[in-house]
Amino acid sequence: MNTMNRKLFLCLLVLSYGMAACSGRVSEEQRTEEGIAEPETVQLVPIVADPMPTASFPDAMLEMYRPLGNEKFNEGKVGFEFNIKNHPFGSQRPIMLAINGSNPEEIPHAVFSKSLSQGTYRAVAYLTDEKGLMLKDFGNYVDRDFMVGDSRSFPAADEPYLVVNLPRDGASIVQGESLIVDFLVVWGDMVADGLEVRVTLDGFEYQTQKQETLELKNLPKGDHVIRLHLLRKDGKELLNAFSSVSRRISVK
């Protein structure tokens, strides 16, 4: 092989090696790109609140005979006595009783007692429909303040305040289920007194001037705190201890 041919052969050999190397790098890059999974795009569905239809029983009446208003008791057992008119009553349709804003409890008896320590108490009793939702007509509910031991009455006791039936503190639902929010405003007319209820959960907010029962939909998994605030539309704050209620809930 002469000198010219040898140089040409060497040039072709170097060129072929370079092209093969380039091809190998491109294939390797392609394989690397194909092996990287694109992160999934999570579509966040906003929380929405839908008012629910509720039953009305204007003839149903709940009366509280004991305790009397601002009655004082010694520490120990405090007697309660109710009378129910024009409404089913018993283990299937009990009275619901909430004391000092706590989770309401089912009371299947019209006369009973509870052991209470020193303090000031507000008992709110109310009737429910067959679904366990509050009846909100006047006369469907009754409240009473009383004291046990050496205690004083609540400040701003005559202000409007909130009672929350649902959700219960510590409630748990499965993702995809609705969270029921069932509340009542006592000692106030929402429109005439310029009141509104604000419901918040995470970044969600809903305001209403109605005595509503709500379905909250699209709640994400995890632990949450739902808060209900009773507000005056003129910006004046309510001073009583029961104008705001918080409930911890979890979505599985």
- Using one digit for the tens of pLDDT, what is the confidence trace for 195-249? 999 999 999 999 999 999 999 999 999 999 999 999 998 877 788 889 999 999 9
pLDDT for 239 equals 84
Residues 222 and 173: beta-carbon distance below 8 Å: no
| Cα torsion angle, 237, 239, 242, 248, sign | positive
Q: Where are the domains of the chain?
A: 50-251
Q: Rounded CA gap, 129 and 101, in Å?
A: 21
Question: Which ranges in the chain belong to alpha helices (H)?
Answer: 3-35
196-200: which pairs have CB atoms within 8 A and are 24 or more residues apart?
196/230, 196/231, 196/233, 197/162, 197/228, 197/229, 197/230, 197/231, 198/228, 198/229, 198/231, 199/49, 199/226, 199/227, 199/228, 200/226, 200/227, 200/229
**Cα-based distances in Å from 215 to 27, 51, 220:** 55, 6, 14
What's the mean pLDDT in 85-114?
Answer: 94
pLDDT for 16 equals 52
Q: Could you tell me the pLDDT band of residue 91, with boundaries at 50, 70 and 90?
A: confident
Tell whether the model's pLDDT for residue 121 goes beyond 70: yes
Q: Rounded CA gap, 237 and 198, in Å?
A: 13
Whole-number average pLDDT of the chain: 86
pLDDT in tens, 146-161: 999 999 988 877 899 9
222-232 β-sheet, strand order: 171-173, 244-251, 222-232, 195-201, 204-208
Q: Does domain 50-251 have CATH number 3.40.228.10?
A: no
pLDDT in tens, 175-191: 999 999 999 999 999 99
How buried is 28 (Cβ within 10 angstroms: 0-12 exposed, 13-18 middle, 19+ buried)?
exposed
Residues 225 and 201: beta-carbon distance below 8 Å: yes
pLDDT in tens, 3-15: 444 544 444 444 4
* Beta strand pairing call for 179-186 and 171-173: unpaired
pLDDT for 234 equals 83
What's the mean pLDDT in 14-34?
Answer: 45
Helix (H, G, I), strand (E, B) or coil at 146: strand
- % of the chain residues with pLDDT over 70: 83
pLDDT for 43 equals 39
pLDDT in tens, 34-64: 444 444 434 378 999 999 998 899 999 999 9
Q: Rounded CA gap, 246 and 102, in Å?
A: 10
Q: Taking the model in full, what pTM does it have?
A: 0.80
